[in-house]
Amino acid sequence: MKVVKKLKTASKPDGSTYAAPFHKLYVSDERGRAEAIVDVQKDEIVSTLRFDGETGMPQCDPITRKVYVNLQDQNIFAIIEPATDKVIGRYSVGRCKGNHGMALDPEHHRAFLACEENNLMAVFDLDKHAAIAFLRLADGPDVIKFDSGLGRIYVACYSGAIAVFHEDDPDHYRKLEDFRVQHGP
């Protein structure tokens, strides 16, 4: 449990995801508009993908074996093929503005996006490459997580709430509550 090496990214690393079958870590560099790709067996950055937008939280889908990344200031959802480290698709996220946070439901081929600029959660169909639902959030959504066992999506918001949604089925979602938590200093 010690630091063995530090790797420098362009500007502001802000999230990462591990693509286990490829032994690669994808590090989102929001202000650097890049995705640094780390070979974890060599402990070195082997490539950097440059984008024309700020990169938000990336996620690796263990079923499709693809890496997804938000281009948050363009309201775009990008798909990376880890075998080649090439961007293979870019898709609009519809009404979602500022798509930063992301969680996946790999079983049902859904991505959940926290839309920071307009306080929405977008449900993105990974097969159709389109947003299929938008649900209201408390102010300031940021981190989003999916609990597959309970079928729940949790969105931590800067306003001091955790928005809780239930996945009734892959096409239907409902808000359970905005659970109030102590607002930090």
Hey, where are the domains in the chain?
A: 9-91, 93-185
* Architecture, CATH, for domain 93-185: Beta Barrel (2.40)
Answer whether 9-91 and 93-185 agree in fold: yes
pLDDT tens digit string along 84-123? 999 999 999 999 999 999 999 999 999 999 999 999 999 9
d(CA 51, CA 47): 13
pLDDT > 70 fraction of the chain, expressed in percent and rounded? 98
d(CA 166, CA 149): 11
* Architecture, CATH, for domain 9-91: Beta Barrel (2.40)
The tokens for 14 are 């802000």
pLDDT at 14 over 90: no
- Taking the CB of residue 11, how many other CB atoms lie within 10 A of it? 12
Contact indicator for 61, 104 with CB cutoff of 8 Å: yes
pLDDT tens digit string along 16-66? 999 999 999 999 999 999 999 999 999 999 999 999 999 999 999 999 999
